[in-house]
Amino acid sequence: MYKTHLANLSYDFKTLRNLMAKATPPRSGDYLAGVAAANNLERVAAQWVLADVPLKQFINEALVPYEQDEVTRLIIDGHDRAAFAPVSHLTVGDFRNWLLSEHATSEILTALAPGLTPEMVAAVSKIMRIQDLILVAKKCRVVTRFRGTIGLENRLSTRLQPNHPTDNPAGVAASVLDGLLYGCGDAVIGINPASDNLEATARLLHLLNDVIERYQIPTQSCVLAHVTTTLKAIAQGAPVDLVFQSIAGTQKANDSFGINLDLLQEAHLAALELGRGTVGNNCMYFETGQGSALSANAHEGMDQQTCEARAYAVARKFRPLLVNTVVGFIGPEYLYDGKQIIRAGLEDHFCGKLLGLPMGCDVCYTNHAEADQDDMDMLLTQFAVAGGTFIMGVPGADDVMLNYQSTSFHDALYIRQVLGLRPAPEFEQWLQQHQLFDAHNRLLQQREIPALFKPALQKLSGHSNGQH
Amino acid sequence: MGNISKPTAASEDPWQALSQFTPARIALGHAGMSLPTRACLDFQLAHALARDAVNIPLDFIALSGHIQAQGYQTLNLQTQAENQRVYLQRPDLGRLLSASAVDCLQRNACPNADAVVVVADGLSSKAIEHHAEPLLSLLLPQLQTNGYALPPVCLVKHGRVAIGDAIAGHYAARLCIVLIGERPGLSSPDSMGIYFTYQAKPGVSTDADRNCISNIHCNGLSYREALKKLLFLIDAAEKLQLSGVNLKDETTDDDLENLPQQANFLLD
């Protein structure tokens, strides 16, 4: 049924899963998996065929069998047919036209989200250009809350990422303070611990909690340990705001991460029980990234972008505060160069937003990828134009623990400046009240140390006087 | 600083003291709200060094010369990843020996080999260029002292960690030791790792069967510390007859700071 005749060649794509993989824009991970189109013509042929597939077909033909995969079961069992009704008669190609039209308003897209499956949004993204991905995502509005309100129109939040190679508390605190002084951290202050053990995790949780309380910062903390470690920390009474976990789009890949839906459910309930949010109770933080299923040899014959979209079905079940696609972290065997990284980041944002998720993007790359700061500036700018929810703030864009490059505090200030974007309202008020930002959210040009942090820094200059 | 009549366009941050606590790029100052020129070029310099570490090919001739000068034989082998572009995109090919490499191994048979030592360029030629020879000069004599029969040291171009399995399989060696250039960070472009596998089997052994000693570079783990860990793992593996997740490194980390600092300037 997935056949076409194009430029004197016949194509028969046999299954929807195969068709999706062949239609996907070029990506080194799909070549590695052996599922990509052999050439440009085969890719375009697949896109033509895909455009004629009715959206309903995605309900009838699971890409991974219902019986063998709990993510498929979650997608099918959780599908809201009433919400789907307004687009249920459309093909993938018509769905693209409809999304671009004035009929698809913010309100209508919000109501539609539970009626869409990851495969439907992945399919339509494959026949969209970058400007389509931006235009439609920009219309989506997803607002979440914990101690601050994330995702309001014309706002862009940042995760302050103060990683340290040995989790040294003073080292972490130094990066936290530098980030706060640059106005960063309204999405979360989130640390990747160097070692995933309970003691280190609990120590960092207490540190962040104490800083947030001491300086009355309207934000939330997270230590990005494995969910089982965080559950143990909760049981010990550690102050957990957000529960973190990396998730993927197949049961097998999630197995390789040591998680399943029941475990995530248990963690979600445990965090809700703590009730630490003040303006809302979205208390999960998920990270994803194209290629993660393949790297666990658990892609089930799917292309990596479709796998990624299926991870969002897992995420949305738990009403997260934040979802972050860590797009360039995985390396060139999955996303070869800046061009592939940029498109992947925008696809992920588009798919996540259509499915109703608060999508952020770790605009990032490794040193063995064909990418540089210019590529990141392009993705950052396009992501923000598309209405991206949050980005990372890493000191000088150089993560000294994870050894990759992300966006910096300065990058966030750049993009807020050119697009007139503001931080989350509660955090914005805190920044202005303590004179970290002026009334127009600009750094004060004559920089004195703000009174709030003067005592802490004065202690230090007292310490280091002898050295100068 | 402080020359009011001639202000520079960039502002410095009056919290430089924080830099004593972390290698992170903090207190960079700002020009407008952007990165000042100096910090911007510092970053580009570090990125250039890291990119060169990945892309400048390792001088295998020089490396084999250095090792032979120590009195050890070497073999130069290739994987099926025929060039750097293929190598980066096809990790599977970097785990397979080329036909000529298989020939070469067959011509250099070594019955009763106990341990193979493999050096692969991996993702950082600089790591191998800087650290392989000094580490081997400690490791190889120690292995011989411990009575291990060694075939020639195998130097592999475009190799991934699992290439050691193919070589260990060829020699039917019990111990497989792979020195490899690690994914370079901006602050550590020449970091070397050692992967140890007990009874490595090509196509069967996985990452879960290996022990890794990583971060060997001038600001990381020292050669002696790395060797201490490796020798501990080898002894323990011989007793337990396994390596990987069920074999724990129980040496104490002399190099690493484990203890939290008691004082935290932000909170006390």
- Asked if B184 lies within 8 A of A332 by C-beta distance, the reply is no
What residues contact residue B159 under an 8 Å CB cut-off, 6+ apart?
Answer: B77, B79, B94, B118, B120, B121, B122, B180
Per-residue burial over A279-311, b = 16 or more CB atoms within 10 Å of its CB, e = otherwise: ebbbbbbbbbbbbbbbbbebbbebbbbbbbbbb
The tens digit of pLDDT for each residue in A329-380 reads 999 999 999 999 999 999 999 999 999 999 999 999 999 999 999 999 999 9
What is the maximum alpha-carbon separation in chain B? 79
Q: Which of A162, A332, A413 sits opposite B33 (nearest CB)?
A: A413
Q: What is the DSSP letter of B94?
A: G
Q: Are strands A149-150 and A144-145 parallel, antiparallel or unpaired?
A: antiparallel
CA distance B193 to B216: 6
A and B: number of Cβ contacts within 8 A = 173
Direct distance between the N- and C-terminal alpha carbons of chain A, in angstroms, rounded to an integer: 77
- Asked if A170 lies within 8 A of B261 by C-beta distance, the reply is yes
CA distance A393 to A341: 19
Is B34 among the domain residues? no
- So what's the pLDDT on residue A445? 72
Percent of chain A with pLDDT over 90: 92
Burial class (CB in 10 A: 0-12, 13-18, 19+), B49: middle
Q: Which of B51, B89, B185 sits opposite A28 (nearest CB)?
A: B89
Q: Are strands B192-198 and B210-216 parallel, antiparallel or unpaired?
A: antiparallel
- So what's the pLDDT on residue B248? 80
Taking the CA of residue A70 as centre, how many other CA atoms within 13 Å lie in the half-sphere pointing to its CB? 14
How close does chain A come to B194, measured CA to CA in Å?
Answer: 18
pLDDT band at B253 (very low <50, low <70, confident <90, very high): low
Give A 16-55 residues with CB within 8 A of chain B.
28, 31-32
Phi/psi zone of residue B175: left (φ > 0), alpha (ψ -120 to 50 degrees), beta? beta
Interface-testing mutation among B18, B30, B268, with chain A (most A C-beta atoms within 10 A) = B18
Helix (H) or strand (E) holding B29, with range, is none
If you write DSSP's letter for every residue of B173-219 in order, what string do you get? -SEEEEEEEPPPPSS-TT-EEEEEEET--TTT--GGGEEEEEEESTT
- By three-state DSSP, how is residue B160 classified? coil
In A, which residues are within 8 Å of B20 by CB distance? 464
Q: What is the CATH number of the domain that holds B113?
A: 3.40.50.11240
Q: Which of A367, A368, A456 sits opposite B266 (nearest CB)?
A: A456
In A, which residues are within 8 Å of B188 by CB distance? 403
How close does chain B come to A374, measured CA to CA in Å?
Answer: 11
Is B245 among the domain residues? no
The tens digit of pLDDT for each residue in B169-217 reads 999 999 999 999 999 999 889 999 999 999 999 989 988 899 999 989 9
- Asked if B14 lies within 8 A of A404 by C-beta distance, the reply is no
The boundaries of the domain holding residue B78 are: 58-240
pLDDT band at A462 (very low <50, low <70, confident <90, very high): low
- Asked if A211 lies within 8 A of B267 by C-beta distance, the reply is yes
Give A 447-466 residues with CB within 8 A of chain B.
447-449, 456-457, 459-461, 463-464
Taking the CA of residue B142 as centre, how many other CA atoms within 13 Å lie in the half-sphere pointing to its CB? 14
For A24-89, where are the alpha helices, taking DSSP H only? 28-33, 40-51, 57-60, 70-77, 81-84
Is B200 among the domain residues? yes
Q: Please indicate if any CB of chain B lies within 8 Å of the CB of A378.
A: no
Burial class (CB in 10 A: 0-12, 13-18, 19+), A40: exposed
What residues contact residue A334 under an 8 Å CB cut-off, 6+ apart?
Answer: A27, A28, A29, A32, A290, A291, A294, A295, A304
Token digits for B52?
A: 């060169």
Is B82 among the domain residues? yes
Q: Answer yes or no: are the C-beta atoms of A96 and A122 closer than 8 Å.
A: no
Is B165 among the domain residues? yes
Average pLDDT in chain A: 96
Phi (first) and psi of residue A286, to 5 degrees:
-110, 145
- So what's the pLDDT on residue B258? 47
Is B191 among the domain residues? yes
In A, which residues are within 8 Å of B220 by CB distance? none
CA distance B125 to B109: 28
pLDDT band at B255 (very low <50, low <70, confident <90, very high): very low
The tens digit of pLDDT for each residue in A373-412 reads 999 999 999 999 999 999 999 999 999 999 899 999 999 9
pLDDT over threshold 70, residue A280: yes
- Asked if B266 lies within 8 A of A395 by C-beta distance, the reply is no
- Asked if B33 lies within 8 A of A417 by C-beta distance, the reply is yes
- So what's the pLDDT on residue A364? 98
CB count, 10 Å around CB of A68?
13
Interface-testing mutation among A373, A398, A452, with chain B (most B C-beta atoms within 10 A) = A398
Q: What is the DSSP letter of B25?
A: -
Q: How far is CA A144 from CA A148, A179, A189, B108, in A?
A: 8, 23, 16, 65
- Asked if A175 lies within 8 A of B19 by C-beta distance, the reply is no
- Asked if B26 lies within 8 A of A175 by C-beta distance, the reply is yes
Q: Please indicate if any CB of chain B lies within 8 Å of the CB of A190.
A: no
In B, which residues are within 8 Å of A443 by CB distance? 30, 33
CA distance A239 to A209: 7
Phi (first) and psi of residue A221, to 5 degrees:
-110, 160
Phi (first) and psi of residue B214, to 5 degrees:
-115, 175
CA distance A230 to A422: 32
Closest alpha carbon to A51 in A150, A128, A151: A128
- So what's the pLDDT on residue B264? 86
- By three-state DSSP, how is residue A288 classified? strand
In B, which residues are within 8 Å of A166 by CB distance? 256-258
Nearest residue on chain A to B94, judged by CA atoms?
A333
If you write DSSP's letter for every residue of A173-196 in order, what string do you get? HHHHHHHHHTT--SSEEEE--SS-
For A386-453, where are the alpha helices, taking DSSP H only? 409-419, 425-433
pLDDT over threshold 70, residue B252: no
Average pLDDT in chain B: 91
Here the ipTM equals: 0.95
- Asked if B25 lies within 8 A of A165 by C-beta distance, the reply is no
Closest alpha carbon to A136 in A321, A421, A349, A377: A349
Give A 152-171 residues with CB within 8 A of chain B.
162-166, 168-171
In B, which residues are within 8 Å of A445 by CB distance? 11
β-strand partners of B180: B120, B193
- Asked if B46 lies within 8 A of A398 by C-beta distance, the reply is yes
In A, which residues are within 8 Å of B87 by CB distance? none
Is B33 among the domain residues? no
How close does chain B come to A196, measured CA to CA in Å?
Answer: 14
Q: Please indicate if any CB of chain B lies within 8 Å of the CB of A405.
A: yes
Is B9 among the domain residues? no
Q: Which of B13, B47, B263 sits opposite A447 (nearest CB)?
A: B13
CA distance A462 to A459: 5
How close does chain B come to A61, measured CA to CA in Å?
Answer: 31
pLDDT over threshold 80, residue A274: yes
Q: How many domains does chain B fold into?
A: 1
